[in-house]
Amino acid sequence: MRNFVTSMVLACCLLAATGTFGQGEGTTFDSKYNAVLSKLQSMGYGYYSAKEWEDIDRAVQELVTDAAQRDDGDAFVKAVVIKAMVLSDMRRQHADAVNELVAARKKVAKMAGVDASKLFVKQAEVLAEAGDSAGVQNVIAEYKASKYYNPKPYAWSGMTQPGDPLLVARPNATTGDSLPLTIMEHAVIRAKSAPGVIFPDATLTDINGRSFTLSSLRGKVVLVDFFARGWKVWEENLPQVQDLWTRYHPQGFEVVSICLEPNAVGLEAAGLPWSVVAGAPSITRPLGIFGQTTSYLLDQNGVIIARDLRGQDLAFAVRHALSK
């Protein structure tokens, strides 16, 4: 679900960059769109019945159908992006999401004055979740060759600690830049740390002066937790991680917490019983982590099981991995 919320933040950035709807019928669509979005966000983490998924699928499809019947290209793009989010971010049906986005791109290409950039971006994000970095690169190439690519200057910095604003900048930009392209290039990095990929090794030194490598933890199920004090999501999830460590550490569950704060001091006060590291640029840079809290659950071979699991999803995944 975190990926869904993140996707919505990026989609809002793109909406600001590419324009919004007018009044009239668009206002009615926006009301339905916001109602669906509110429902999705309220679902949070957990498991839902077939009936609940049917209701969500029906509501989302009604948005797509309504926009298509009115030939409202902007509304159609928004609705398809939401549908892809449900398929990929919530239901892990990446191939179905890609098919929806590709079909939507073909339809929108025939509409005058409609920007399909968000469809390209979402397709890149879906492929990143599937670990298909080559696929993301192909989408980038298609976007740059499309009529929608319009280089604009942006900057990406900040988010080094709670409260810092996010500024977006495409790294190594030369002749031009664009926000959609920036997000897609970040997706290339994310694809390299998707489930099924071996997590990068690194030599770390914890706050007690003990040096170790992540590969030395092979044989254990490991949660690599990137955090910053003050981030609500991390603080709310911490008691559960502590409980999981207490219960399953004797069975081979380990946690490594890596602080993302630029000048982290006083980390000892948290009293965490596992290894705590004050910064690890040798990992954060390759993974494209820019200050946001995130976590990776690794199996006994160092392969990524999942990212950003919390609540019962994390507990189930830890138990399942330890049972193998």
pLDDT tens sequence across 161-204: 444 444 454 444 444 557 788 888 878 888 888 888 899 999 99
Which overall architecture, per CATH, does domain 2-191 show? Alpha Horseshoe (1.25)
Domain 2-191 shares a fold with domain 203-322: no
Q: For residue range 17-51, list pLDDT tens digits in order.
A: 444 444 445 568 888 888 888 887 776 545 677 88
Q: Which CATH superfamily is domain 203-322 in?
A: Glutaredoxin (3.40.30.10)
Q: How confident is the model at residue 26, as a pLDDT?
A: 53
CB under 8 A, 24+ apart: contacts of 135-139 = 135/191, 136/184, 136/187, 136/188, 136/191, 137/188, 139/184
- How far apart are the C-alpha atoms of 180 and 76, rounded to whole Å? 18
252 C-beta neighbours (distance < 10 Å), count: 14
Nearest Cα to Cα of residue 166 among 186, 193, 146, 140: 186
Q: CA dihedral defined by 73, 169, 129, 307, rounded to 10 degrees?
A: -130
Q: What is the mean pLDDT of each run of 10 residues along the chain (324 residues)?
A: 48 47 59 84 66 86 92 93 89 92 96 93 92 92 91 50 46 58 82 86 93 96 92 89 96 95 84 91 80 88 91 93 92
110 C-beta neighbours (distance < 10 Å), count: 8
pTM of the model: 0.66
Q: How confident is the model at residue 35, as a pLDDT?
A: 86
- How far apart are the C-alpha atoms of 309 and 298, rounded to whole Å? 12
Q: For residue range 5-23, list pLDDT tens digits in order.
A: 455 444 554 454 444 444 4
Q: Tell me the domain boundaries of the chain.
A: 2-191, 203-322
Report residue 262: phi and psi, to 5°.
Answer: -65, -35
Q: How confident is the model at residue 116, as a pLDDT?
A: 93
